[in-house]
Structure 1
Amino acid sequence: MQIPPETFLIDRASPLPLQVQLRRQIVLAVHEGRLRPGERMPSSRALAAHLGVGRITVSQSYGDLVATDYLTARGRSGYFISDRVGEPEQIPATEPGPGFDWGARLDGRFRAARRKDRPLGWRGYPYPFIYGQTDDRLIDHAAWRQCAVRALGRRDLGALSDDQYDGDDPELIDFIIRHLLPRRGIKARPEEILLTLGAQNALWLICDILLSCGAVCALEEPFYPGAHEILATHDAQVLPVPIDAEGLPPQSVPPGVSVVFTSPSHQCPTNRTMPRPRREALLRLSAERGFAVVEDDYEFEISFAGATSPALKAMDRSGAVIYVGSFSKSVFPGLRLGYIVADPAFVAEARALRGMMLRHPPGHVQRTMAYFLSLGHYDRQLNRMREAFAERRRVTADALGRHGLDSGQAGAGGSSFWLRTPAGLDSDVLAAALKPKGVLIEPGRPFFRQRENGAGFYRLAYSSIAAGDIDEGIRRIAATCAELQGQPEIA
């Protein structure tokens, strides 16, 4: 790699000679890892022109650094960072200036709301029952690469290189309207759709618009921790509504709320499905009381039991429902691409807010996704994922039963189980005991506003673990539960 001349600066007010300043900059950069062995230094002519010094000053600095093994000279090719770096040159430490008091300017609300239990390096564990990650073997890498190359062609150059201001890729919007939303029973026009950087970005936009100072909202509990993180940073009153076997009970929504957050098709994290009569009741209540409904339809594609219930948005006649969809579960999590479907007035406001934050999602990502959808790769990958997840769910359910663990409600899809720990066992303690044994689970506390209410629950996901590894992972969970309770392991 060629190191650009702009990497180096000199201070003409310094008492140190220019040659010494340059030499010390190079030495320091090498020891800090900013310049690495094999990288090519700027030519002495180019660096001298950039610094405004004589070429001999640069040549002498280079010569001194060759003598101390920081640089090597390669004939007519120039100077390169040496792989035989000598002892560090003693450079006087710079006296620090007065510290800037960031503590007085930051209230820490974002750090306080951020989840601290997300496992880093989860791929290094043999039994990662971690939600929201994926098995690389289920992703059609070749198809995605093909679509990306096609999107980078000259025909699409304008869509990729232009600043679209607050606009979205019309080809992707068209496919969402004609092919994706009809699967949920939703009819929409282009002015009712906004692309986002995943569901998390969509929820942030929604909260920023709807939850002004003092607003009151209802959130089903247990809840999606990402939504609660966002709500915790807004000056709004959050009222948790405990779910039952059929999801969010409409009759339990407190009076005076302006927004209700729900995931009716696969409730997060329990996977419970809200039946149609209850959905109709929630919509009637919304019309009577005048609150908006935010529907997070995050996992509707992963269903193993035939047709799913229509989305709330498909049943909405008043325009009160804001629908949030995402490609993170159906394509791959790192894609960070989702969408909002809502009344044109709301979408116009959200589009303006998004435009101030990030303009629009990257054009090449949008166009690549449009090709991935239109060429049929999306449906083929979904079918492969459904088959794999159905098999993993069956294997997981069998293993839970065989090893004596509570399997909860099996549901008809999704990529995880919501489980109770054996009586009296804290899921945080269980998770900590499992990590040295190569097993990762998600403790229940982050899913509850009163965190202690989640101590007896944990989530067990199977999207990122091969079917052949599930039984041994669950055997280790059961064995660890028995150890922590001082009971014999179930064979």
Structure 2
Amino acid sequence: MSIPAEAFVLPPAGRGSLQQRIRQMVTEGILAGRFRPGQRMPSSRGLAEHLGISRITVTLSYAELVSSDYLTARGRSGYFVSENAPRAPDMPARGPRAESPDVARLLAGRVLAAGQVDRPADWEAYPYSFIYGQADATLFDHQNWRLCAVRALGRRDFATLTQDYYDRDDPLLIEHVLRSILPRRGIAAEPDEVLLTLGAQNGLWLASQVLLGPGRRAAVENPCYSGLRGVLAATGTEILPVDVDADGLPPEAVPKGVDAVFTTASHQCPTNATMPLERRLALLEAAGREGFVIVEDDYEFEMSFLKPVSPALKSLDSDGRVIYAGSFSKSVFPGMRLGYLVGPASFIRAARALRLTTLRHPPGHIQRTVAYFLSLGHYDALINRMRTAYRRRRQAMEEAIRDNGLVVAGQGGFGGSSFWMRAPATVNTEVLAERLRAEGVLIEPGRVFFDPESAPRNYYRLAYSSTPPVRIPEGIARIARAIRQGAG
């Protein structure tokens, strides 16, 4: 029995080349059981005419499917679904969904969702997207990243790609983190003082799980990174907010009796304030006097393009009190999910043991690809390109904000990729954000960054990492117009 050409519908454009989409169309039909072993496929000419594509494209796709044993060729008879083709197991249909009350009982009191910025999945479809942390495809070095990834897939690196490292990390990547990344922040470390993580969020989770728990207290900046409170709440730790000022976290405001202080000293999230050197030294002195540990989230230090950044807190740490969390998410791309922790060897051993019980280690192929990207100089070239682009975008946004009379609450002095904004006290920026979406503008309401007990609703964040300069003035103008019209 032949399969009619009309049974095939190409997946949407954007999901690979035409050949890849034809392969996906056929394999999904076979795995779903719609196409059975032994059934004859449409002729390459017939399928090409139905899909409106060239016959050679279909022929090449069929050849690929034969090589992977989804199809088989029978001389002049054409192509057939292979008897050896993978197939989904026949499983009986399950009954209606149900939820046991015992599951609800066990979930009681658990932190199931932390306050997060509402970022629509289709943010790229908005012409004026000021969403923080997203990558710009026009800046990324696709060609050299692909070459590094292909090299990491080669036979020479087969063990790195396939073996289970258990609790270890790729020594080549660790070498370049020690030799290239950390010295830029003034940090000297040994291999047993570094642990790779699945991004900064995972690093903060590991640190909080190792250091904190019920009966312990942690001071956090207010406002702060929106995901941090959820990470800490999941441990049962008491969370104590400390209001930041124009210079970041005031050491004298840290409550007595805390076990840990979490800070974004170099580029405060979200206000962009930079903690001066004198205050950094005062915080370290307070840590030694009061007996607490500092967790430093240095998430955006590579984006310092206006002037050099101050030394990291970790670089000033003489008695092993600072746990340093870094990430490649902002400097390469966020979907890679790769970061690192630096701390005393005893802390890293504990964090490594915990990581082993949850994810073992980040994927070996990603680690080796990043190692090559660093060692061949592509990373530094990418950073320079991003800094140049961000400087232009920042200038365009500064001018647009000034021309439209908007109020900047914090912009930092070293660079970064965003502005922290304040609307009039009567404006609810969550309502404002909904109104602006209808006009093609995305902003980030600021309430989720604050302590829930006293969160103001008139702050918002504007980022320019993925917004071309030509679109910035009109986007800012629309925000200003909506605020003047009383939206929110």
Give the TM-score, by structure 2 length.
0.81
Q: SS where residue 323 of structure 1 aligns?
A: strand
Comparing 268-277 with 158-167, which one deviates more in the overlay?
Answer: 158-167
How many percent of aligned residue pairs carry the same amino acid? 53
1:372 alignment partner in structure 2? 373
Question: 2 CA distance for matches of 1:391 and 1:451?
Answer: 38
Deviation at residue 93 of structure 1 after TM alignment = 8.5
Residue identity matched to 1:439: V
Count of residues paired in the alignment: 416
2:389 alignment partner in structure 1? 388
CA deviations 1:43-92 (Å, max 9, x no partner) are 49xxxxxxxxxxxxxxxxxxxxxxxxxxxxx9564459xxxxxxxxxxx9
Q: Does 1:254 align with 2:266?
A: no
Cα separation, partners in 2 of 1:478 and 1:153, compared to 1, 3 Å: same
Deviation at residue 335 of structure 1 after TM alignment = 0.8
1:18 alignment partner in structure 2? none
CA deviations 1:338-391 (Å, max 9, x no partner) are 000000000000001001111100000000000000000000000000011111
Q: SS where residue 157 of structure 1 aligns?
A: helix
Deviation at residue 104 of structure 1 after TM alignment = 3.0
Q: Does 1:268 align with 2:263?
A: no
1:178 alignment partner in structure 2? 179
Question: 2 CA distance for matches of 1:97 and 1:454?
Answer: 40
1:318 alignment partner in structure 2? 319
Cα separation, partners in 2 of 1:194 and 1:94, compared to 1, 3 Å: closer
Deviation at residue 159 of structure 1 after TM alignment = 1.4
1:458 alignment partner in structure 2? 460
Comparing 448-457 with 469-478, which one deviates more in the overlay?
Answer: 448-457
Question: 1 CA distance for matches of 2:98 and 2:384?
Answer: 60
Comparing 112-121 with 149-158, which one deviates more in the overlay?
Answer: 112-121
Q: Does 1:441 align with 2:443?
A: yes
Give the TM-score, by structure 1 length.
0.80
Deviation at residue 307 of structure 1 after TM alignment = 2.0
Matching of residues 293-372 of structure 1 within 5 Å:
293-372=294-373
Cα separation, partners in 2 of 1:156 and 1:282, compared to 1, 3 Å: same
Matching of residues 164-313 of structure 1 within 5 Å:
164-313=165-314
Question: 2 CA distance for matches of 1:409 and 1:114?
Answer: 21
Match of 1:473 among 454, 472, 475: 475
Matching of residues 88-237 of structure 1 within 5 Å:
96=96, 100-101=100-101, 102-107=103-108, 109-113=110-114, 115=116, 117-237=118-238
Residue identity matched to 1:216: R
Q: SS where residue 174 of structure 2 aligns?
A: helix
Question: 2 CA distance for matches of 1:462 and 1:99?
Answer: 43
Residue identity matched to 2:482: T
For the 8 Å contact 1:40–1:78, the answer to whether it is kept is no
Question: 1 CA distance for matches of 2:78 and 2:390?
Answer: 59
Question: 2 CA distance for matches of 1:34 and 1:41?
Answer: 9
Deviation at residue 256 of structure 1 after TM alignment = 0.4
For the 8 Å contact 1:447–1:454, the answer to whether it is kept is no
Match of 1:423 among 397, 422, 425: 425
Q: SS where residue 113 of structure 1 aligns?
A: coil
Comparing 119-128 with 374-383, which one deviates more in the overlay?
Answer: 119-128
Question: 2 CA distance for matches of 1:155 and 1:284?
Answer: 49
Question: 2 CA distance for matches of 1:94 and 1:356?
Answer: 32
2:400 alignment partner in structure 1? 399
- Backbone CA RMSD of aligned residues: 2.4
User: What are structure 1's unaligned runs of at least 5 residues?
Assistant: 1-29, 45-73, 81-91, 487-491
Q: SS where residue 256 of structure 1 aligns?
A: coil
Comparing 291-300 with 34-43, which one deviates more in the overlay?
Answer: 34-43
Q: SS where residue 246 of structure 2 aligns?
A: coil
CA deviations 1:461-485 (Å, max 9, x no partner) are 1111111100000000001001116
Q: SS where residue 194 of structure 1 aligns?
A: strand
Residue identity matched to 2:400: A
Match of 1:482 among 452, 467, 484: 484
CA deviations 1:246-274 (Å, max 9, x no partner) are 10000000000000000010000011000
Q: SS where residue 264 of structure 1 aligns?
A: coil
Q: SS where residue 361 of structure 2 aligns?
A: coil
1:62 alignment partner in structure 2? none
Question: 1 CA distance for matches of 2:418 and 2:336?
Answer: 21
Question: 1 CA distance for matches of 2:201 and 2:95?
Answer: 43
CA deviations 1:127-146 (Å, max 9, x no partner) are 11000111111110101000
Question: 1 CA distance for matches of 2:271 and 2:291?
Answer: 28
Question: 2 CA distance for matches of 1:94 and 1:403?
Answer: 58
